[in-house]
């Protein structure tokens, strides 16, 4: 199984594992806290659209600190 160490979309390295397969070691689900992308470890993401920071700035509200 592929071990992910960075977000396939924005290359952020502090990704979180949020779920595991019921049968151990089949797949994991990861989430990127930077671009909110969620993917399963077994997905083929070679042709993924890379996160475009400039486009995101125009399309989304800016990130805000909580509180
Ligand atoms: Zn990301």
Query: What distance in Å separates the CA atoms of residue 37 and residue 31, rounded to the nearest whole number?
Result: 6
Domain residue ranges in the chain: 16-65
pLDDT in tens, 12-64: 999 999 999 999 989 999 999 999 999 999 999 888 888 877 777 777 666 66
pLDDT at 1: 63
Upper half-sphere CA count for residue 51 (Cβ side, 13 Å): 18
Distances (CA, A) of 15 to 11, 59, 65: 9, 23, 19
- Residue written as tokens 């977000």? 7
Q: Give distance in angstroms: CA of 6 to centre of ligand 1.
A: 8
pLDDT at 37: 95
Query: What distance in Å separates the CA atoms of residue 15 and residue 18, rounded to the nearest whole number?
Result: 9
Q: Give distance in angstroms: CA of 4 to centre of ligand 1.
A: 12
Q: Do the beta carbons of residue 39 and residue 30 sit within 8 Å?
A: yes
């Amino acid at each position: 199984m592929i071990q992910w160490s960075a977000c396939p979309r924005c290359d952020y390295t502090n990704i979180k594992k949020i779920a595991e397969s019921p049968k151990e070691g089949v797949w994991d689900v990861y989430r990127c806290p930077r671009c909110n992308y969620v993917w399963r470890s077994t997905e083929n993401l070679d042709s993924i659209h890379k996160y475009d920071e400039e486009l995101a700035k125009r399309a989304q509200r800016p990130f805000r600190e909580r509180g």
